[in-house]
Amino acid sequence: MLQERSAMHVSHTPKGRRKNAAKSPFPSVKLLLVVSVVMDSGKQKVNGSELFYRRTGRGDHVVLLLPGALGSGQTDFGPQLKDLSKERFTLVSYDPRGYGRSRPPDRDFPPDFFDRDAKDAVDLMQTLGFGKFSLLGWSDGGITALIAAARNRSSVKKLVIWGANAYVSDQDVKIYNAIKDVSTWSSKMRKPMEDMYGPEYFTRTWEAWVEAMSDFAQRPNGSICRDVLPRIGCPTLIVHGEKDSMVPSFHPQYLLQNIQGSCLHLMPEGKHNLHLRFAAEFNRLVDEFLCQ
């Protein structure tokens, strides 16, 4: 297994330990205990693919972060990996096969690619030694998380999803086709993906994703994972940005109605990337839900 390590240093004075703290040779200067929060990363072979992951924190509650289409831990979850509590959580992000640094091989989109990603995600966590964990899934990662939670009830503690849908409607296909040509995107939107993949791979893979998503509309009821929703048994938080132009509001409502015991939180100013644009608010919401 390849390993890379970097350290983020957090300084604080723990409560209740003043009497045993080291004494400074200068009476007027207090010593701070420096705690190293390690971000470790590497690759694990899972189901025939080398999956890249990042892991940080030392908390008892283990959380896997699942990125969106063409996404990675680097591009999709910076504010979460940086700011969610390292004391309460152990955070793991991964790059699905064909995305980010989980290449080669190149990404492909067989009819069961969401099911494949769900199995990869759960098997990665088990390979890393985590038998029970929560899932945070954005967009495509939210769909993957829905399937993983439904098919691994004993492993998934809690589920948080946003920007996800259980089926593809004609309206969704129109949205996908409107953004298929990446040359029409702003340079700011293209840059992270072009930096990671290069323009050619990004363009080709995005077009393949649009075609794969559109194909779901030809299935009965446009289903991606409608049939598995009733099997989700863990507490589920659905977050939706009311200004999300990628996912119409009927999708989170459908999830709410079909996942037993789920709850829906609306963010009036939130768009598809609400966890990045409103990271502090989103992180507080996640922290409260996971710690309940």
* Residue where the block lists tokens 């953004």: 179
pLDDT of residue 39: 81
| Contacts of residue 104, Cβ cutoff 8 Å, sequence gap at least 6 | none
Look at strands 263-267 and 236-241 and give their pairing: parallel
Question: 90 with 117: CB under 8 angstroms?
Answer: no
pLDDT of residue 12: 33
What residues act catalytically?
Answer: 139, 244, 272
| Contacts of residue 258, Cβ cutoff 8 Å, sequence gap at least 6 | 166, 226, 229, 230
pTM above 0.75, yes or no: yes
Question: 275 with 229: CB under 8 angstroms?
Answer: no
pLDDT of residue 121: 98
Angle 187-197/199-216 helices, nearest 10 degrees? Answer: 110
Q: In 3D, which of 64, 258, 233 has the Cα closest to residue 150?
A: 233
Put residue 290 in one of left, alpha, beta given phi > 0 → left and psi -120 to 50 → alpha.
alpha
DSSP letters spanning 248-273 = -THHHHHHHHHSTT-EEEEETT--TT
Neighbours of 271 (CB within 10 A): 17
Instruction: Compute the chain's Rg from CA coordinates.
Output: 20
Neighbours of 278 (CB within 10 A): 18
pLDDT tens, per residue, the chain with 292 residues: 333 323 332 333 333 333 333 333 333 333 333 344 578 999 999 999 999 999 999 999 999 999 999 999 989 999 999 999 999 999 999 999 999 999 999 999 999 999 999 999 999 999 999 999 999 999 999 999 999 999 999 999 999 999 999 999 999 999 999 999 999 999 999 999 999 999 999 999 999 999 999 999 999 999 999 999 999 999 999 999 999 999 999 999 999 999 999 999 999 999 999 999 999 999 999 999 999 9
If 0-12 CB within 10 Å is exposed, 13-18 middle and 19+ buried, where does residue 231 land? middle
Q: Which CATH superfamily is domain 40-167+223-291 in?
A: Alpha/Beta hydrolase fold, catalytic domain (3.40.50.1820)
| Contacts of residue 250, Cβ cutoff 8 Å, sequence gap at least 6 | 169
Question: 259 with 285: CB under 8 angstroms?
Answer: no
Q: In this structure, what are the phi and psi dihedrals at residue 84, rounded to the nearest 5 degrees?
A: -65, 150
